[in-house]
Amino acid sequence: MEEKLYIIAHQFKICRHDRELRNGHKPACLWFTGLSGSGKSTLANATEQELYKLNANTYTLDGDDIRRGLNSDLNFTEEGRAENMRRIGEVAKLMCDAGLIVLAAFVSPFRREREMLRGLMGGGFVEIFVDAPLDVCEERDIKGLYKKARNGEISNFTGISSPFEAPGNPDIHVRTDLLPIEKSVEVIIGKVLPRIKL
């Protein structure tokens, strides 16, 4: 604990507001949460393409990419998942401070972790519930993860052997089993644009 006494934040001359002015928009963290196979990554990718067309400065963080690199040392226990979320949140916060619109596509199954992220990000956090029934997610499962989880080959798998706590009051709620991808993106962009305008 004593070592923390020597950690002192440096006061840099360029601040978040300066970056907002240069970018022409406010930063935000669009957090896509939902079951595996619900369409989080597909939707984040399509939303980023639309924001890019609008000259927004963006970056997408995806669960598989983070697990292969930054968080490759973490397991899928409840503790491992909590630390996974904490690290991703800290990275997303830094990217928002850099002025970016961060699109984060993660199962993030627990409400307390998503509330932690909202507190960490402040007003720029946008929770997007990418909602699809479990049977639809299983049908879409190109990785075969649900089958492995049902056969006991994967433990702590969300939706099968580990719970998914659906957001009670998300900022944006899209049903990907009912809406085509283009329409879902339209809904998201329509609700995000007012938040990022200077």
| Percent of the chain at pLDDT exceeding 70 | 94
Decide if 144 is inside a domain: yes
Confidence of residue 198 (pLDDT cuts 50, 70, 90): low
8 domain-assigned: no
Number of domains forming the structure of the chain: 1
Q: Is residue 19 part of a domain?
A: yes
Look up residue 90 and give its amino acid. E
Length of the chain: 198
Q: Catalytic one among 36, 38, 41, 108?
A: 108
Per-residue pLDDT at 1 exceeds 60: no
pLDDT at 130 > cutoff 90 = yes
Q: Which domain holds residue 161?
A: 14-196
In a domain, 133, yes or no: yes
| pLDDT confidence of residue 165 | 95
State pLDDT tens for residues 48-71: 999 999 999 999 998 778 888 888
In a domain, 73, yes or no: yes
| Residue 102 to residues 28, 59, 60, 78, 161, Cα–Cα distance (Å) | 6, 5, 6, 25, 30
E-assigned strand segments in 21-159: 28-33, 58-62, 101-105, 125-131
Task: Please state, rounded to an integer, the average pLDDT across all residues of the chain.
Answer: 91
State residue 61's pLDDT score. Answer: 94
Q: Is 115 inside any structural domain?
A: yes
- Does residue 45 register a pLDDT over 60? yes
In a domain, 81, yes or no: yes
Write the burial class of residue 70 (CB in 10 Å: 0-12 exposed, 13-18 middle, 19+ buried): middle
pLDDT above 90 for 78: no
Flag the least confident range among 73-77, 134-138, 173-177.
Answer: 73-77
Give the integer Cα–Cα distance in Å for 108 and 88.
Answer: 11
| Domain-embedded: residue 7 | no
pLDDT at 126 over 90: yes
What confidence score (pLDDT) does residue 98 get?
A: 93
CATH number for the domain spanning 24: value is: 3.40.50.300
* pLDDT at residue 33 tops 70: yes
36 flagged as catalytic: no
